[in-house]
Amino acid sequence: CVLRKIAERTPLQRLLEHLLRSMEKRDPQQFFAWPVTDNIAPGYSQIITNPMDFSTIKQKIDDGNYQNLNEFINDFKLMCSNATTYNHQDTIYYKAAKKLLHVGLKMVTPEKLRQLRSVLT
């Protein structure tokens, strides 16, 4: 029989999956869960050249695409800045992105990472 190769997780993948789950919890309306389409956001693909969303980040974690925490954080920041670029300040999406960025970056302070390291390793 063919031995099923279980998806072994590297320590980095385990850290990134934990952070992703925590960040997704702060997006209950799931505005950042999936790629933004031109249908729901007219002209989006013309304005935003590097789209990013949580599902794409998840796929990149699973594919072992992130070499380190900073590459993951950069995609998180890109996702939030796309929303503050496309949406006007007085929209729920702009405000949600500002809050999400703030909360997400607080999760990756040196102190938070130290606490996590003891839990995850």
Ligand X SMILES: COc1ccc(OC)c(-c2cc(C(C)=O)n3cccnc23)c1
Backbone angles phi, psi at 80, to 5 degrees: -70, -40
CB-CB contact of 68 with 74 (8 Å): no
CA 53, 46, 93: angle at the middle one, nearest 5? 45
Q: Could you tell me which stretch among 8-16, 20-28, 63-71, 80-88 binds ligand X (CB under 6 A)?
A: 80-88
Using CB under 6 A, which of 40, 49, 110, 114 touches ligand X? 40
Instruction: Name residues contacting ligand X, limited to 50-79 (CB under 6 A).
Output: none
Q: Compute how many residues bind ligand X; rule: CB under 6 A.
A: 11
Task: Provide the 3-class DSSP secondary structure of residue 49.
Answer: coil
Minimum distance between the CB of residue 69 and ligand X, rounded to whole angstroms?
23
- Contact flag: residue 3 with ligand X (CB under 6 A): no
User: Smallest Cα–Cα separation from 15: which of 27, 23, 26, 6?
Assistant: 23
**Positions that interact with ligand X (CB under 6 A):** 31-34, 36, 40-41, 83, 86-87, 93
